[in-house]
Chains A and B, each alone.
Chain A
Amino acid sequence: MKQPLASTQPYVPLRLRRTQKPYEAEIGIEHLSFGTLHLTSFYTVLYSISNHNPTCWSSTEKFLITNNFLCEISNMENNGDVQMTAEDDVQEEEEVTAQSVLLAIEEAWLNEKFAPEILPHRSDLVDCMLQQITHMEENMKRLDKEDLRLMIHRMELDRIKYVITNYLRARLEKIEKYTIHILSQEATRSSEECYLTVAELQFAKEFLANIEMLFKTIALQHMPGNFQTFEVDTLTVKPNLQAYVFLRANDRINGIIVPGSMDEEIDLEPGSQHIIQYSAVADLVKSGAVKLI
């Protein structure tokens, strides 16, 4: 077994955070250079929630999230201003603790890590947690340098940031790998049930455009006329949905048909662990009835 990381070493994300501002998670700047051609693709995911007034925070870890508060954040992402109607304000108040959001994010992280395909985004959780982090960092500024709490809070924040950035990065890796497939799937979904966030969708489109430009500039334009088209279909990479995954059941689930068998059915007990093809449990992963481990 590897030497464990000493806990004094914070779990700081590696090629991340070029900015000083804590609430901006920058996901990477890549320079592709091929001979005379230089393509620079910037893809940043900025969660500009700094202007938002954290009304939901109370002094302990309990706080309220209203659904429209989350809408508000996504609206800010969409068009930079807040659209909120008065009726929405009272509807559907959901009380959650920071702890439960953190647990949900950790589960989303592991699911995303192990699932072969991209899962529906959980930007509600990410935004909420980033807000918590920002608030906590504000609080920490008021603490004395010698204070014991400062070190403890900082360590915890580093741990949480690691989970969030690793989650976002796992998604970006999948988007880069399956760009064309994801974009074509995404085109068939309505705006409520789409899997990508607005920023991720934009990234995917730009990534595809950059690849196309790269292909054209380097090779395609020098080809004979009938070979010059950029054939999207032949370049599509699809995730292997028949990949085997490890999972743990959260709820009791009856009668999952094992793919590849004649009509073998299995039942999952809560808490039991299994290995099975992803395609058999894909819907259960998305609904949260099972989690990947």
Chain B
Amino acid sequence: MAIEVRIPTILRTYTGGEKAVSAEGATLASLIDDLEANHPGIRDRLVESGEGDGVDLRRFVNVYINDEDVRFIGGLEAELSDGDQVVVLPAVAGGC
């Protein structure tokens, strides 16, 4: 089950400069584990420790599955199917 993952400029140091990589997983969480296996270090840029023992998507990282923000479709538990496209984009944000 191959899923295309679009990688933003700032994370391409983990993918050897590739703008898109292929990964596998039935959920976003397992997809990120698979990414980590092939591109060590990338996981920590996407998730952080959450409540209890869990992990959450980092607040200022946006992940989309087929153009939907995963925050609205289950977050890390969002389900994936063969041929889905995942896009990772850092938030453009700041403040004084």
Q: Is chain B a partner of chain A in the same complex?
A: no
B: residues with CB less than 8 A from A are: none
